Amino acid sequence: MENEEKRMISSYEVTQSIHIGRKEVVFGVDEKAEYPFLVCHCTYDNPLSAEWVTDAVGSDDYLEAMQIFTERVQEQIGLVRAEQEQFKFDMKPFTIDDCIPDNRGGSIVGKVVVINAEVNRYEYRHSAYQLVLADGGNGATGGRGQAVFGTCLATGEHRRWERYDVLGEIKPDHMPQWAKEALARIKAQEKEKKSKSREGR
């Protein structure tokens, strides 16, 4: 559409972008610049989910810049493949049938919940990225907000999700062995942290 606002990074208009894994690979053009072609990474893993530009490279050769762009995309694909090859279990996504339906007004703090796989980008629509131990946030406590903070069992990553993306609590008999082991590790780590904090007082 003609009225659609152009995405800019500094004076460069973004003409290509592919988000794979934890980084977006971006190609920008500013025909008036000394180096008209820009390739960079963008990440959004900060509290405001703001665009953060890193690893910027300028070139006056379109093909050279496009080669850098495609190499970076391939690098991201390789990183995601390597991450997923560590998961030696069934990656088939969990569905609503694997859950105790979510009561939006109730607390899910301390429970292992299933995140809807469809809210993730395609490369992350696997069981490894769905099971989360919820530990806080207005959404998790059943308050007015939507924020659910927790730890992904497979990756150990602590981050934010939205309550409306929670399918429900995983049914005990549908929770796989790898998730039970991961949950035990996370709880042991939390217990150790609390013990150390008490000792430090």
> In this structure, what token pair is assigned to residue 115?
């995140």
**DSSP SS3 for 24:** strand
**DSSP SS3 for 51:** coil
Q: Is 130 exposed, middle or buried (0-12, 13-18, 19+ CB in 10 A)?
A: buried
> In this structure, what token pair is assigned to residue 160?
């934010």
The rounded distance, in Å, linking the Cα atoms of 137 and 140 is 5
pLDDT single digits (tens) 9-33: 999 999 999 999 999 999 999 999 9
Q: What is the pLDDT of residue 104?
A: 84
pLDDT single digits (tens) 153-177: 999 999 999 999 999 999 999 999 9
Kindly report, as residue ranges, where domains of CATH 2.30.30 are found in the chain. Answer: 96-199
The answer to whether the beta carbons of residues 86 and 154 sit under 8 Å apart is: no
The rounded distance, in Å, linking the Cα atoms of 28 and 12 is 5
Q: What is the CATH number of domain 96-199?
A: 2.30.30
Identity of the residue numbered 148: V
